[in-house]
């Protein structure tokens, strides 16, 4: 359970970069609910998922262009910037370095110069992953010497950029590290499991399902970002003021924090919970060892490359589904007052309900 809630300050104005994306749009919705007087600017490279609300303004931004982000920040005049923008997994290193690293440098530079009080950066729990088991690790876990992939390499660099900006021109920063984000609007994690049902492949299971894995429901993560911003705003307002009721060692600024649902589950149990919503109750009857899965995936990748199409099974997916990856979120509970409000079971119910509604809409258009 969360310890006594840390002091917070209401958010008067907030710029959400990536505000039309999966996470960004959830943050905008949560801000409207929890800080109804907040003036919100949602900025993204493509304006989708727009809400009709007078407190939200949507603007186009390209964070790889410093003049673009400068124009947005100067016009929005936010006291808080929540930076969620990032390309999805599965792209090339060049795009990650351009958007996640150079783009974040641009955001930080502009925020420092324009007097932004607080910046919350969305990092990733994968920044500490190198393929080795991560068993209830906390924020003392170092970055790996060799990053697992280009995505997490870029996220680690960008996180460092954000945290090193803490204190610059009075701005306070923090980085949140979510794991396995899912929920309505998800275009990566849950759709992959749903496709397994559609392809009638639920009888296969990679690995022995003894690996615990952390997932995070999107609305819980959105709340965590807002809590972080509120706590940092209070710290900003009380800089130089010693409150005897507050442990000075528990300051949030300049730190990274893991955020999950706090309910690690066996990986394939999560998949099977999704499949049950589609009437599949006998999944995983054929268990394929990890080593065999890697060989088959390697062959599938080679064949698909030759045929000029995407492989159904990849070595990354095999490693991902067999990985031990769960995290200690005591720091989030302690410094943010974070407690996941929506359980994995309820989160999956809402998520699948949304996907089925989307499938019905698509069918009606045909």
DSSP 242-267: --TTS-GGG--TTEEEEE--S--EEH
Within 13 A of 161's CA, how many CA atoms are on the CB side? Answer: 23
* Structural domains in the chain (count): 1
Query: pTM (2 decimals)?
Result: 0.93
Show pLDDT as tens, one digit a residue, over the chain (366 residues). 445 667 888 999 999 999 999 999 999 999 999 999 999 999 999 999 899 999 999 999 999 999 999 999 999 999 999 999 999 887 899 999 999 999 999 999 999 999 999 999 999 999 999 989 999 999 999 999 999 899 999 999 999 999 999 999 999 999 999 999 999 999 999 999 999 899 888 998 999 999 999 999 999 999 999 999 999 999 999 876 555 555 555 789 999 999 999 999 999 999 999 999 999 988 888 999 999 999 999 998 898 888 888 777 788 889 889 999 999 999 999 999 999 999 999 999 999 999 999 988 888 887
44 domain-assigned: yes
204 domain-assigned: no
345 domain-assigned: no
Q: Domain range holding 41?
A: 13-186+212-263+327-340
305 domain-assigned: no
Cα angle 214, 218, 219; round to 5: 125
**247-278 burial string, b = 16+ CB within 10 Å, else e?**
eeeebbbebbbbbbbbbbbebbebbbbbbebb
3 domain-assigned: no
CA distance 117 to 171: 5
300 domain-assigned: no
What six digits make up the tokens of 281?
């109750």
316 domain-assigned: no
CA distance 199 to 171: 50
What six digits make up the tokens of 55?
């407190």
Identify any residues that bridge with 212 across adjacent strands, giving them in sequence order: 266
150 domain-assigned: yes
CATH of the domain at 46: 3.40.50.720
pLDDT of 75 = 97
Q: Mind telling me the catalytic residues? A: 151
């Amino acid at each position: 359970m969360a310890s006594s809630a840390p002091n917070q300050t209401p958010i008067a104005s907030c710029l959400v970069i990536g505000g039309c994306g999966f996470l960004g749009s959830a943050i905008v919705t949560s801000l409207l609910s929890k800080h109804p007087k907040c003036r919100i600017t949602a900025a993204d490279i493509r304006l989708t998922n727009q809400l009709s609300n007078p407190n939200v303004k949507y603007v186009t931004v390209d964070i790889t262009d410093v003049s673009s982000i400068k124009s947005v920040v100067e016009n929005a005049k936010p006291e808080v910037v929540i930076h969620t923008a990032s390309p999805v997994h599965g792209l090339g290193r060049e795009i990650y370095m351009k958007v996640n690293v150079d783009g974040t440098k641009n955001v930080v530079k502009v925020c420092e110069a324009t007097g932004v009080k607080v910046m919350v950066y969305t990092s990733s729990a994968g920044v500490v992953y190198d393929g080795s088991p991560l068993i209830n690790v906390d924020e003392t876990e170092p970055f790996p010497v060799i990053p697992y992939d280009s995505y997490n390499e870029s996220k680690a660099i960008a996180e460092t950029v954000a945290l090193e900006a803490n204190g610059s021109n009075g701005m306070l920063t923090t980085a949140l590290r979510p794991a396995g984000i899912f929920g309505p609007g998800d275009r990566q994690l849950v759709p992959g499991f749903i496709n397994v049902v559609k392809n009638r492949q639920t009888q296969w299971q990679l690995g022995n399902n003894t690996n615990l894995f952390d997932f995070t429901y999107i609305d819980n993560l959105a709340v965590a970002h807002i809590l972080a911003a509120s706590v940092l705003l209070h710290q900003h307002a009380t800089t130089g003021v010693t409150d005897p009721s507050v442990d000075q060692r528990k300051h949030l600024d300049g730190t990274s924090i893991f955020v999950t649902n706090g309910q690690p589950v066996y990986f394939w149990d999560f998949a099977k919970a999704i499949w049950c919503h589609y009437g599949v109750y006998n999944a995983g009857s054929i268990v394929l060892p990890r080593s065999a899965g890697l060989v088959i995936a390697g062959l599938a990748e080679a064949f698909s490359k030759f045929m000029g199409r995407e492989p159904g099974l990849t070595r990354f997916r095999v490693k991902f589904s067999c990985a031990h990856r769960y995290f200690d979120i005591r720091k989030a509970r302690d410094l943010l007052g974070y407690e996941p409000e929506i359980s994995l079971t309820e989160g999956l119910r809402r998520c699948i309900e949304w996907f089925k509604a989307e499938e019905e809409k698509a069918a009606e258009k045909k």
